[in-house]
Amino acid sequence: MDDMTFASVTSLLTTYGMSVLGGIVILIVGWLIAGWAARWAARTLKRVKTVDDMLAGFLSNMVKYAILAVTVLAVLSRFGVQTASLIAIFGAAGLAIGLALQGTLSQLAAGVMLLLFRPFKVGDYIDAGGTAGSVKAVGLFTTELATPDNVQIIVPNGDVWGATLRNYSFHPTRRVDFLLGIGYGDSIDAAMQAITEVIHADPRCHAEPAPQIVVGDLADSAVNIIVRVWTDSGDYWGLKFDLTKRFKEAFDAKGISIPFPQRDIHVHQIPA
């Protein structure tokens, strides 16, 4: 009896011992390969300028977990488990989870696209679908903005990626536009000369492209002069505020009026 029991145990160990040992070897090798592949993917992605560090980490982890999943399936197959049915179950569960989290997954997909194509970077001032502010952080699910008065705005990445995006900081230069009205009795040439002097006196105004000073239209109450000046993107608002003040001061110094809107009213008396 003892000899039969020993023989049964020996046969059991011989049959399943090699499977257990093989499974352990597959797990160890798969784990090592997954770690090496994740590090290789991270190093490779970081060399690509358009790939953000967060996106590189996310994609490298995806590579690692994909290899580990294949390793687990290989170990189960080693023990005779029908992996085809498991894959079908996992596929159905993944589909159910995907349908339940489709909103979250769409935000994740949009975040990956933003981090991959990088239409803007941290510090840029953008307008995404009517929401404007300076970019503070870009994550996989949301983008953090700060308004000029320092109010935090958290925007889902799907709203950023799926809407019209305006990046005011993308180009190194921007054009500042002014619309100045003068009276019909004032000299247009004198007004243009005063505007030119103000522009040339400010070093923030670029010589190229050359400033543009033209008569826009003859409005109801004023002759409108259009002024277009190019400057560095970082100087846009400072230059706009300063030149608006100096144009008014220059007009006052030369006696050029900025008329108020006016209407001529004719009163007709009807006899009783």
Better-scored residue on pLDDT, 19 or 130: 130
143 burial type by CB count under 10 A (0-12 exposed, 13-18 middle, 19+ buried):
buried
Better-scored residue on pLDDT, 159 or 59: 159
Cβ count within 10 A of residue 56 = 19
Model-level pTM? 0.64
Q: Which residue has the tokens 């349908």?
A: 99
pLDDT digits (tens, 9 = 90+) for 110-121: 888 887 788 888
For 1, 89, 131, 237, 250, the CA distances from 54, given in Å and listed in that order, are 65, 31, 24, 33, 52
| pLDDT the model gives residue 97 | 55
| Average pLDDT, integer, range 69-77 | 76
For 112, 156, 169, 174, 221, the CA distances from 145, given in Å and listed in that order, are 18, 11, 14, 21, 41
Q: For the chain, what percent of residues have pLDDT higher than 70?
A: 77
Find the range with the poorest average confidence among 54-68, 72-86, 236-250: 72-86
Average pLDDT, the chain: 81
| Average pLDDT, integer, range 51-58 | 66
Find the range with the poorest average confidence among 28-37, 160-169, 215-224: 28-37
| Average pLDDT, integer, range 70-90 | 68
Cβ count within 10 A of residue 3 = 7
Residue 56 in contact with residue 46, Cβ under 8 Å? yes
| Average pLDDT, integer, range 153-163 | 88
Handedness of CA 129, 132, 133, 134 (dihedral sign): positive
| Average pLDDT, integer, range 235-246 | 95
All structural domains of the chain, each given as residue ranges with its CATH number in brackets, are: 2-100 (1.10.287.1260), 120-167 (2.30.30.60), 173-253 (3.30.70.100)
157 burial type by CB count under 10 A (0-12 exposed, 13-18 middle, 19+ buried):
buried
| Average pLDDT, integer, range 177-198 | 94
